[in-house]
Amino acid sequence: MAVLNDLLSQVGGWLGGVLRALLGADLATIVFLVISAGVILTFLAACITLAIWAERKVIARIQDRVGPNRVGPFGLLQSVADVLKLFAKEDTIPGGADRLVFILAPLLAVVPSLMIYAVLPWNWDAVVARLDVGILYVLALATFPTLAILVAGWASYNKYTLLGGMRAAVQLISYEVPEVLAVLPVVVLAGSLSLWDIAAAQRAVWFILAPVVGPLAFLVFFIAGLAEINRSPFDLVEAESEIIAGFHMEYSGMRWALFFLAEYANAFTVSAIASVLFFGGWHGPLLPGYLWVVLKTALLFVVMVWIRGTLPRLRYDQLLALAWKGLLPVALGSLVLAVAVRELGAMSWHPLLLLGINLGVVYLLFRWYTDLWRAAQYRAAAPLLEAAMQGVRS
């Protein structure tokens, strides 16, 4: 097991030694970084392909369907067939569009999401760039999709795409605020802005078990992340019934596929960042650390798919009210509680005690939500019941 845990560092050390012997120290460092980036991008391409297949299969099971089962074994090559189809489609650009901006917008959406993996720690010895301010780097790159969507809507020379881009910008900016605030409790508990340090600080207890703070901060981060990456039930950026296809209506072929790729890359990225911030990163029993990161990321992605196959789309007023009236106060409260937890030294308590506290908090929140839901249903049904009773009396 020790060999498997140190596999990445051993391979990296051997490759680095060979490159230094052949190219010299400075050039070897550059080549090593390029090779590392290529390996990560290849791995991400495979993960995104499997993620698309897994989402189709999971939603098919939720809806009592079979899902892809024709192209390749178990339908695994369906995504490959889709890519080939998109390559064969005609690439069109509207006559009045700003051509340069129209072409660059898809790249502006997908490249920043891939750059985030430069600071993501896959293991204690596997990170391309161990930045001391890694979380700030991630949050800065997470704002680029907003600009890409707005630019794509404006450059298409179409009033519907412009409206879609403007509406998307309002949604994404609204949810950036609680998302950033949800990260701050983790920074307070770890005492660092480095993703590697945050993961290393969870060696004894994962931050998801921090009393009250962990579940609240994770819930806000995960919900805001779903809205940021345009996942259901927050997929109003592409509300087909209202503004046709939204900001990317004029895109076709592989340019449209880049926006599609960015959505799945961002979904995988949010899951990976959440696994590092709240679920201990590479820490886990028996398996090597990098496998734990992949497994935790995959599990969180399946939860996203589960939500997509279960919850209906929100109205736009509900979406904004949830951000400003719901998530923002909870994020601020979790930040205050994180300071109290750090001062009390609560993270040194036994993990089972922390788990019991959080399960109690989750149960109370569930009961409170259930009571609110029933009261709302009663208020909605009261006029109908009153009209029915009046009909019976008459």
Backbone Cα Rg of the chain: 23
- Alpha-carbon dihedral 97, 103, 107, 110, rounded to 10 degrees: 50
What is the reported pLDDT for 394?
A: 63
pLDDT of residue 42: 82
- Residues of the chain short of pLDDT 70, as ranges, are 1-14, 16, 239-245, 384-385, 391-394
Residue type, 12: G
Q: What is the pLDDT of residue 81?
A: 87
- What is each CA distance from 207 to 36, 92, 216, 299, in whole angstroms? 29, 48, 11, 17
- The CA distance from 376 to 353, in Å, is 35
Q: Which region holds residue 96: left if phi is over 0, alpha if psi is between -120 and 50, else beta?
A: alpha
Q: What pLDDT shows up at residue 67?
A: 84
pLDDT at residue 1 in the model: 45
Rounded to whole angstroms, the maximal C-alpha distance in the chain is 97
Tokens for 105, please give them: 């917008």
Give the predicted TM-score (pTM) of the model. 0.85
Report yes or no: 255 and 247 within 8 Å, Cβ to Cβ.
Answer: no
